[in-house]
Structure 1
Amino acid sequence: MNKTPRINIPVEVRKYVFQRDKYQCQSCGKTALETNLSIDHIIPLSRGGQNDISNLQTLCNICNQKKSNNIDSRFRRNFEL
């Protein structure tokens, strides 16, 4: 499995992902009013994940740090790993 090169996520894509996810952490449910949110790769680039909008999710900084470069088990059924 090859590591996918990291690219900067364009502002328009970041905005779309935040809106799609209703400005809410997809792991713990906290909103932008409660915490700082970030964009994260569901399947990490280091594990072959892509820079595709379907592989992006909104996470709060705490959940993003906990996830690290692991794959969230809730998404395993949606992706062939």
Structure 2
Amino acid sequence: MSKTPRIRIPPEVKKYVFQRDKYQCQSCGKTTGETNLSIDHIIPLARGGQNDISNLQTLCFTCNQQKTDNIDPRFQRYFQL
């Protein structure tokens, strides 16, 4: 499996993902008023994940740091990696 090159996520895509996820961390549920939110790859680029909008999710800083380059356990059963 080869690593996908990292690209800068355009502001319009970030805005769409934040709106789609209701400005809420998809792991712990914290909102933008409670913490700093970021965009994360569900399947990490290091594990062959793509820069596709369907592979992006909103995570808070803490959850993103804990996830590192692991696959989000909520989605792991859908992927054989």
Provide structure 2 residue ranges, at least 5 long, that are not aligned to the other structure.
Answer: none
- What is the SS of the residue equivalent to 1:12? helix
Aligned to 1:54: 54
Q: Does 1:78 align with 2:39?
A: no
- What is the SS of the residue equivalent to 2:4? coil
Provide the C-alpha distance between the structure 1 equivalents of 2:77 and 2:15, rounded to a whole number of angstroms. 26
Provide the C-alpha distance between the structure 1 equivalents of 2:66 and 2:44, rounded to a whole number of angstroms. 13
Q: Does 1:6 align with 2:3?
A: no
Aligned to 2:25: 25
Encode CA deviations 1:22-79: one digit per residue, 9 max, x unaligned: 0000000000000000000000000000000000000000000000000011112333
Q: 1:12 corresponds to which letter in structure 2?
A: E
Provide the C-alpha distance between the structure 2 equivalents of 1:63 and 1:35, rounded to a whole number of angstroms. 11
- What is the SS of the residue equivalent to 1:25? coil
Provide the C-alpha distance between the structure 1 equivalents of 2:31 and 2:78, rounded to a whole number of angstroms. 24
TM-score for both structures, normalised by structure 1: 0.96
Give the aligned length: 81
| Identity %, equivalent residues | 80
Provide structure 1 residue ranges, at least 5 long, that are not aligned to the other structure.
Answer: none
Provide the C-alpha distance between the structure 2 equivalents of 1:24 and 1:79, rounded to a whole number of angstroms. 24
CA RMSD in angstroms comes to 0.9
